[in-house]
A and B are shown apart, each in its own frame.
Chain A
Amino acid sequence: MISARQISVAFSPSPALPVLDGLDLQVDQGEFVSVLGSSGCGKSTLLKVIAGLVVPSQGELTVGQGQARGRSEIGFVFQDPTLLPWRNVIDNIRLPLELRGQPVRSQLDAAGQMLEMVGLQPEDGLKFPRMLSGGMRMRVSLARALVTRPDILLLDEPFAALDDMLRQQLCEELLEIWQELRQTIVFVTHNVSEAVFLSQQVYLMQAEPGRLVDQVEVPFPFPRKASLRGEAGFARLVEDTSGRLRETVA
């Protein structure tokens, strides 16, 4: 589904210090993977490369069924909710469909469904972003990314700004959505337990230059419940993964 081989990205001011250098990543259809790394290691850049927002200076990238960067089938959840302040919730959610020129009726239908899927009430649809809490804004952002029914969903530390309780709750809801729709998901985070809880594979990323250096397979079966976080096996795997992450930084 996503196949990246020897991807390098260098930005013009310092071409000698590439952000990504010879990065390999293989994600199968319907797989949920996390990319774990410290801040500034190039995680966001990796997602932007997959999304086609950043063109790699070297390497080979295949996304989707064949053609490189088939953007229309990609949903992207940014680190910030990035909502349009002058549009209400429903109008924000339907924006991607509007830009594709879909009929308004079907835009509204799809946006209404997504509103429900991310756990918002129908009356929230008429509210403006300013009136929403941080968690609700993130839900709207997620609904907007899902509204095109993408095959691939990319998430860039979406819950990093939220408090722990809310972060855990949203993780559980994201898993439910994935279990229903089975998109291919690449989830970028610096939170080890979040990565282990959510994904099937966790890739550890090294900084300067950005490269995936290790891989942890997460064996816990789905559906995963909140109670998984209390199990001894979960704690051990989080501990083990944290240790390996420290090694990549050292």
Chain B
Amino acid sequence: MNQSPRRWITILIPPLVLLLLTMVVWQLAVTLLEIKPYLLPSPAAVVEAAIEHRGELFSAIWLTGRAAGLGLLVSILLGTATALVFSQSRVVRRSFYPYAIALQTVPIVAIAPLIVNWFGEGFQSVVLVTVIISLFPVITSVTTGLTSIDEGLHDLFQLNQASRWQQLVKLRIPSAIPSLVTGARTAAGLAVVGAIVGEFFAGASVTERGLGYFVLYAVPNLQTDLLFGCVIAATLLGVVMFVAVSVVGTHLLGRWTAEMETH
């Protein structure tokens, strides 16, 4: 029973020690070398700025987190639906796949103004940018999962004269679950990036300020300490999303992995 806390300790201690060391070196360097605070603020200054603006910072994280979360959810649903259509017909797959790739290669910076132009400033446009950025990995992973079926299992279903529908529901979809989790994990990280980029272009509404807007607003005022706080907050948000998807994924994958062996 005491196995799992001990395991957590061995996982958490080394990076935390490293973090602490980095902070100490950073703080010493800034103080001793007299680095100007607008170039590199000390950790203490960053923490101070973060605490001072904690209200705005938290509501910014909450807003960006909501946009990223909703965007991710839409990506997973839309990506899975697209993959399901792709898996049913090679012709459809070959016709649409190049455009799915285009989704990933389109310079978001170039089309973001268009999106603002069509959908206006605000949350809906931020979510849309998030979806565009995080959709592709879901489509590719799930399509691969649905179409690369073990030959023996395919023969088994053929032999028992399974209908197309039975093959989809009882073979292809369950086979694709691990790929869905992989795709969603990649998309989770991208969703936070997407939400922040989205806010750069579409998040300037006065009442609601996300992290992306904060970054834009903090730099011109030489509030480098606050900018650092935003970066750290954005990073943490990405980690939280990634971990959340991983935990849900591990739960889903219980039957696909060796998890049951411990019982």
Contacts and interface: CB of A to CB of B under 8 A. Distances in A.
Interface of A: 48, 51-53, 71-72, 74, 76, 78-80, 82, 84-87, 95-96, 98-100, 127-128, 130-131
A82 B159 contact: no
B169 to A, nearest CB: 11
A7 B168 CA distance: 33
A195 B164 CA distance: 37
B223 to A, nearest CB: 52
Contact of A53 (B159, B171, B255, B258): B159
Interface in B158-178: 158-162, 166, 170-171, 174, 177
Contacts, number: 58
Interface string B141-159: 0000000001011011111
Contact of A131 (B153, B157, B174, B260): B260
B255 A128 contact: yes
Contacts of A84: 153, 170-171, 174
Contacts of B156: 76, 78, 82, 95
B181 to A, nearest CB: 13
Interface of B: 150, 152-153, 155-162, 166, 170-171, 174, 177, 255-258, 260-261
A80 B260 contact: no
Contact of B255 (A51, A86, A95): A86
Given A48-B155, A99-B166, A130-B261, A85 B161 contact: no
Given A95-B156, A128-B260, 20 more contacts: A53-B159, A71-B161, A72-B161, A76-B155, A78-B152, A82-B150, A82-B152, A82-B153, A82-B156, A86-B174, A98-B170, A99-B157, A99-B162, A100-B160, A128-B255, A130-B258, A130-B260, A131-B258, A131-B260, A131-B261
A84 B154 CA distance: 11
Given A82-B150, A82-B152, A82-B153, A74 B159 contact: yes
